[in-house]
Amino acid sequence: MQFVMRIIWGAPQLQRSHRYSRAQRRSNQQQTVLTVLSAEGLNGPPKQGQTELAEDGWISRTLAAFRTSGADIQSVPAPMEEMRVDCLAALRTQRMPTTRNEEYRFTDIAPILQLEPQVAASATVLPGEAIAALVEASPLKEAVARVVVIDGAVASQLSDTERLPQEVFVGSLREAPALPAAQQLGKQARLRGSPFALVNGATAQDVLCIAVPEGVTVESPIHVLYITSGASSVTAPRLLCTLGADACAEVIEEFVGPAKGAEAHFCNAVAEFDLADRAQLLHGYVALEGRRALHMKGTLVRQAAESSYKLTEARLGGRLTRQDINIEQAGEATQTEMGSFLLCGDEQLHDLHSKLRLEHPRGTANQLHKCIVAAGRGRGVFDGAVKVEQKAQKTDAGQLSRNLLLVPRATVNVKPNLQIVADDVKCTHGCAVSDLEESQLFYFRARGVDAAMARKVLVYSFGAEVTGEFAYPELRARIQAAVDRTLANVPILEEPAAEAA
């Protein structure tokens, strides 16, 4: 376990920057991307003797896979094209991170880089029996709308948005390319996104857009069901969600699939949220993919003054998963709350990297991270950074990481990071790593509860502090079923032979 606390007092350092006009910047980008498109073959077949300009081999192979898929890679709306231009230009000199990079020191992405990128010939996969079964198994009756996204493409034939308020748009950006909210597409990812977010921007074949205009409240949740069909080894789903001033909404992202027995696949997802003044967003994120899934998720949030953002996360599926959360409080009296529950079974690695930047007075932030590692070959990773800038006076920020190791050799790497430049703030953070305590077990045994049941109650209640925030029984039941499958063979939860006799 690592515990790092860094507090900085004093004035922020000044950084020099070169400023260009918007027209000059766009001209330079267009010239750069034409060269990249030609080199990657996205703007027609590469010329003889032409070399790849992307320095990283995996990036080049991934771009080539999407190029040769024939999945309408060029016929995209103008906002998507602009995003692709910027991301392709940025990828020229990007290299995929290794364990020598500090942010990936405990997360080896070799399984992703070893996966040969393959993309299905069509951007829209027609629903088959396996897809229909996954949709049927993932209901959310309380939802006012359900949107199904298959391999990164919005499947309108499986979606239901009829009960939404008339002013709210939920659907593919291809259906409303002139939507004002589309102008926000890719802006946060270009400024604060990871290399995987850039790859997503360069390869996304569709964008799910949720636009709630000023003053509109969506009373029930919008359920976004991401399905991996197994037809592609690499998918790039993308979500853009914008809330106008005084708007309220709840969005639940749920990742499932592929069908049992499918080959390994990589889901490279990005979600961008832009909240205007006094907007309120509840965001649920549930990952229940198969045990061979490789999953990277970028969540980027920008909050204007007096807005509220609350994230509740439950990540249980997949072989290697990681979420990079980057939140910017860009206004006064902004509220941010994050709750995450990660359960690591055999040969599972779940990583959570969060960055929260507070730049204005009277902001509040609270983060609770809970992780259970239930196997000797399981690993959990948490790297949480909170930066309080000099102008963010009277800020109240808290960060807490609690980790439960159930078996020998179970591993968790924790690095909370608090940077404070302001002087009139209230900021706390803490970290705890332990196994089940004998005193707690004794408390149950003294009241007639057997040892196996006592252990199960303690383990299940550990994560319930976060998962209990999901208000919908069907969703909680799916999370509980995934927990049961992971903990089914954990020795510590079984009755010892001597006591059972």
Whether the pLDDT of residue 186 is over 50: the answer is yes
Q: How far apart are CA 261 and CA 132, in angstroms?
A: 17
CB 145 within 8 A of CB 164: yes
pLDDT of residue 92: 84
Which residues face 369 on adjacent strands?
A: 340, 401
Least confident of 111-125, 179-193, 237-251: 111-125
- Tens digit of pLDDT for each residue in 351-361? 999 999 999 99
- Higher-pLDDT residue of 122 and 200 is 200
Flag whether pLDDT at 201 surpasses 50.
yes
What distance in Å separates the CA atoms of residue 466 and residue 315, rounded to the nearest whole number? 11
* pLDDT band (50, 70, 90) for residue 365: very high
Global pTM reads: 0.87
Mean pLDDT of all residues in the chain? Answer: 84
Q: Residue 276: what pLDDT?
A: 97
pLDDT of residue 51: 38
The pLDDT value given to residue 498 = 44
422-457 tens-digit pLDDT: 888 888 888 998 887 777 778 888 888 887 788 888
Mean pLDDT of 147-176: 94
**DSSP H/E element including 210:** strand 208-212
Residue 56 in tokens? 């990283």
SS3 sequence, 126-166? CCCHHHHHHHHCCCCCCCCEEEEEECCEECHHHCECCCCCC
The confidence band for 74, taking pLDDT boundaries of 50, 70 and 90, is low
Residue 17 has pLDDT above 50, yes or no: no
Helix (H) or strand (E) holding 453: helix 451-467
Residue 277 has pLDDT above 90, yes or no: yes
Residues shown for the chain: 501
Average pLDDT over residues 141-146: 96
Checking if the pLDDT of 501 tops 80, the result is no
pLDDT at 497 over 70: no
Q: How far apart are CA 198 and CA 419, in angstroms?
A: 27
Average pLDDT of 147-161? Answer: 94
Question: What does the pLDDT read at residue 52?
Answer: 47
Residue 24: CB atoms within 10 A of its CB come to: 10
d(CA 175, CA 192) in angstroms, rounded, equals: 28
The pLDDT value recorded for residue 53 is 44
Ramachandran sector of residue 394 (left: φ over 0; alpha: ψ -120 to 50; beta: rest): left
> Residues 449-466, buried b or exposed e (16+ Cβ, 10 A)?
eebeebbbebbbebbbeb
Determine contact, residues 11/421, Cβ cutoff 8 Å.
yes
Residues 475, 478: Cα–Cα separation, whole Å: 5
Record the tokens describing residue 84, joined without a space: 């692709």
**190-195: long-range contacts (C-beta < 8 A, 24 or more apart)?**
190/83, 190/86, 190/87, 190/90, 192/300, 192/326, 192/328, 192/355, 193/270, 193/298, 193/300, 193/324, 193/326, 194/296, 194/298, 194/324, 195/91, 195/94, 195/95, 195/96, 195/97
Lowest mean pLDDT among 1-5, 264-268, 461-465: 1-5
Determine what percent of the chain is predicted with pLDDT higher than 70. 84
Position 331 confidence tier, pLDDT thresholds 50, 70, 90: very high
Whole-number pLDDT of residue 153: 92
Residue 15 has pLDDT above 70, yes or no: no
pLDDT of residue 396: 92
Q: Which residue has the higher pLDDT, 122 or 366?
A: 366
Q: What is the pLDDT of residues 23-34, one digit of tens each?
A: 454 444 444 444
pLDDT in the model for residue 450: 81
Residue 456, strand partner residues: none
Query: Contact, 372 vs 343, CB < 8 A?
Result: yes
- The pLDDT, as a whole number, for residue 500 is 42
| pLDDT value, residue 495 | 55
Band of the pLDDT at 330, cuts 50, 70, 90?
very high
Evaluate if residue 174 carries a pLDDT over 70. yes
What's the confidence (pLDDT) of residue 252? 98
Name the pairing type of β-strands 169-172 and 208-212: antiparallel
